[in-house]
Structure 1
């Protein structure tokens, strides 16, 4: 759900902001919220150390090492609603001093941001040791960078950044309920709201396909909101060659059935189907292709459509094969 977090925040923020601001500013606000929604997954950086320990030991060994290492801190320190609220306040305060009417006011906000960052880092060290503190600091620094860029490029003030950060940071943990161990929503408090992930369907493979469908739906939603904000239509940017995704149905009988615990072969292969979207960059243009192939959004949506068709046909074949 890494991509889905950003897509949901972008779609909601853009749609809401579009009621008040011009499309360009609403899109910028949506991008800011989406960037904040991606920040909590900075805790995956630690997994790189696990990957480095095994070296070039094969794709599956490296993948297992990556995810095994990530579980040490993933969905804990940075996936807390408590931390999210305080961190959002720190990000907003970090830019509140810019353009302040007095040096004292600017200094106060900067000191407040430093105090909040230092406080969260100290709490993480006390609760989760040096590893937890390092992850928390990386998370906060990433958020400060997003805030600084949004303030300078998007010209957003502390109120807008607070709203974007709250939307991004607080929506993120809920997207992880379907794919693994539930986040520690109230970290650093020793209270767990959920102990097991939410299962959509009883069959492990169908459950994975349902979760994958939710992920695709969030991307389609973001694409729809973007095109609506720019006064365009989705179907104008999806080429018929996306139908080639139907060929992926053969994978339902050619590969082991995937589950959330073992899904690498499915995820890697079905995402490769999305290459259909960039094929015009690699092949000579043909008159049968869309006239909008020069637009990146057309490549993206065509690739997304191909993956969606692949997922649908795979599911249908899996159902027929499993019921036979």
Structure 2
């Protein structure tokens, strides 16, 4: 689910920007920036390795138990998203001013003052979030919020220097990306604390897609796959490619995964790893020859082979995974 947050924001923002009349290149840039900001709240999982070292529980359950101490709380808040988006806007203004062309001494002095003020406002806003997180959630909350702010400023800097985004564009994509993230967690795990640091729970339990825990897992998995498909369709459309022409016949290998129902235990949210890792492996096996071909072409010419390049491998792998998961679900329902 970590990848899905970013890809959903990318797809919606890029498609929306293109619909609003932006150029293909600018729409893609806005989408990529939104996707980066949408992934940002999950920096809170970085605490998990520290928690594992402290607890000595070096296993999958221990990893998630350690990470969930602060996961979906400090950084998964609409309140934090709004304040952080404003902070990143000021940081982007400072970045644009700092990289402006040379000017007269008098004007440069005023420009330098504006840069300092913008950076100060951004730092004060992010530091305030850190202080509040420290008060509410202790040193761990302050640590997570500090990392959140630093990584967010780094994302903003790249968006301005490489994507040439304006402060208002940064504000919009940051706000959308950060605010959209928590809603992607409503079908897996515990619900995020949408109004943190306020003790007001909008949601007390996750959304159930089916009474059967295995069917619920399939539903969540297919939502993720739908997000991946949407992102790839938007990308191929904006780059003037066609999805069907990029999918290789090797994707049909995914159908054979239905037989795995005899060996892989029925997955649930609590025990999904065997299913997820094995079905993803199917998506790797199918496009392996395509990846090898791209690598050889790149080594010879430093250019992708064919019009579609790595997109063909991604779409072929995703098709194989989709067919594999549907085949397993049908076999599960029949048996």
Same fold (TM over 0.5): yes
User: Are the counterparts in 2 of residues 54 and 62 from structure 1 also a CA contact under 8 Å?
Assistant: no
Match of 1:288 in 2: none
Matches within 5 A, 1:104-119: 104-119=113-128
Residues 199-246 of structure 1: per-residue CA shift (max 9 Å, x gap) = 011111011001000000000000000011011111111101001011
Residues 240-270 of structure 1: per-residue CA shift (max 9 Å, x gap) = 1001011111122222111011111111111
User: Are the counterparts in 2 of residues 242 and 305 from structure 1 also a CA contact under 8 Å?
Assistant: yes
How far residue 51 of structure 1 moved from its aligned partner, in angstroms, is 3.8
Match of 2:330 in 1: 316
Structure 1 residues 151 and 284 mapped into 2: Cα distance closer, same or farther (>3 Å)? closer
User: Are the counterparts in 1 of residues 246 and 308 from structure 2 also a CA contact under 8 Å?
Assistant: no
Matches within 5 A, 1:80-99: 80-99=77-96
Match of 1:226 in 2: 235
C-alpha distance in structure 2 between counterparts of 1:121 and 1:92, whole Å: 18
User: Are the counterparts in 2 of residues 97 and 106 from structure 1 also a CA contact under 8 Å?
Assistant: yes
Match of 1:307 in 2: 321
How far residue 282 of structure 1 moved from its aligned partner, in angstroms, is 4.6
Question: Which deviates the most, 220-229 or 269-278?
Answer: 269-278
Match of 1:159 in 2: 168
C-alpha distance in structure 2 between counterparts of 1:16 and 1:133, whole Å: 35
C-alpha distance in structure 2 between counterparts of 1:192 and 1:30, whole Å: 31
C-alpha distance in structure 2 between counterparts of 1:73 and 1:163, whole Å: 26
Structure 1 residues 128 and 210 mapped into 2: Cα distance closer, same or farther (>3 Å)? same
How far residue 97 of structure 1 moved from its aligned partner, in angstroms, is 2.3
How far residue 314 of structure 1 moved from its aligned partner, in angstroms, is 0.6
C-alpha distance in structure 2 between counterparts of 1:224 and 1:46, whole Å: 34
Contiguous gaps of at least 5 residues in structure 2? 98-109, 296-304
Alignment of 1:3 onto 2:3? yes
How far residue 109 of structure 1 moved from its aligned partner, in angstroms, is 1.2
Match of 2:48 in 1: 47
User: Are the counterparts in 2 of residues 83 and 187 from structure 1 also a CA contact under 8 Å?
Assistant: yes
Match of 1:38 in 2: 39
C-alpha distance in structure 1 between counterparts of 2:60 and 2:51, whole Å: 10
TM superposition score normalised by structure 1: 0.92
* Secondary structure of residue in 2 paired with 1:18: helix
User: Are the counterparts in 2 of residues 292 and 298 from structure 1 also a CA contact under 8 Å?
Assistant: no
Residues 47-68 of structure 1: per-residue CA shift (max 9 Å, x gap) = 112344577x8xxx52122111
Aligned alpha-carbon RMSD (Å) = 1.9
Question: Which deviates the most, 255-264 or 293-302?
Answer: 293-302
Structure 1 residues 148 and 98 mapped into 2: Cα distance closer, same or farther (>3 Å)? closer
How many positions carry a matched residue from both structures? 312
Match of 2:260 in 1: 251
Structure 1 residues 199 and 148 mapped into 2: Cα distance closer, same or farther (>3 Å)? same
Contiguous gaps of at least 5 residues in structure 1? 286-290
How far residue 99 of structure 1 moved from its aligned partner, in angstroms, is 4.5
How far residue 21 of structure 1 moved from its aligned partner, in angstroms, is 1.7
Match of 2:105 in 1: none
* Secondary structure of residue in 1 paired with 2:59: helix
Match of 1:272 in 2: 281
User: Are the counterparts in 2 of residues 280 and 293 from structure 1 also a CA contact under 8 Å?
Assistant: no
